[in-house]
Amino acid sequence: MTNRTVTDPGAREKLHIARTLLGGYAAVAVLTLLAIVVFSGNPDLVTGAVWIRGSILAAASLVTFALGVSMANGSRGNYRRVKIIALAQVVAIVVIECIPGSFPVWFKIANGVCGALLVIVVLLTLSRSVRATFAA
C-alpha cells in the first residue's frame, strides 16, 4: 500500500491534530489501565467489567494510534480504518456512559475523556480537505 503525499496545508494540519489527539487517547487509555492495576484490590473501584473494558480500551487505543500515524503520513487505507474505528469507539463509549451503574464514576470519566478526543478525530477525518486528500 502506498502513501499519498498530503499537499493541502489544511488537510496536513488536520491530520497532525488527529494524530496528536489519538496519542492523547492512547495515553489516557493506558493510564486508565495502570490505574486499574494499582487499584485492583478495591472492588468498589475495579470490577471485572472494568478490567475487561479497560484492557480492550488500552489495546484498541494503541492500534488506533499506530493507524493514525500511518494515516497522517498519507495512508488511504489507514485513513478509512481510523475513521471507522474512531466512530465505532465513540458509539461504544456513549453506550457505556448511558448504562446506569455499569461502571464506577472514575472509569466513566476516563471513558468520557477518550470519547471526547475521538469525537474530534472523527470530525477532523470527515472534514472536506481530509476527505479530498484521500479521495479515489
Q: What is the pLDDT of residues 59-90, one digit of tens each?
A: 999 999 999 999 999 999 999 999 999 999 99
Write down the domain spans for the chain: 9-133
Interatomic CA distance for residues 75 and 134, integer angstroms? 8
Residue 96 has pLDDT above 90, yes or no: no
Residue 132 has pLDDT above 70, yes or no: yes
Residue 1 has pLDDT above 60, yes or no: no
Residue with cell 495512508: 75
Q: Is 75 strand, coil or helix? A: strand
Q: What is the pTM of this model?
A: 0.92
Burial class (CB in 10 A: 0-12, 13-18, 19+), 127: middle
Cβ atoms of 64 and 25 within 8 Å: the answer is: yes
**Distance, C-alpha 53 to centroid of its chain:** 14
Q: Is 3 strand, coil or helix? A: strand
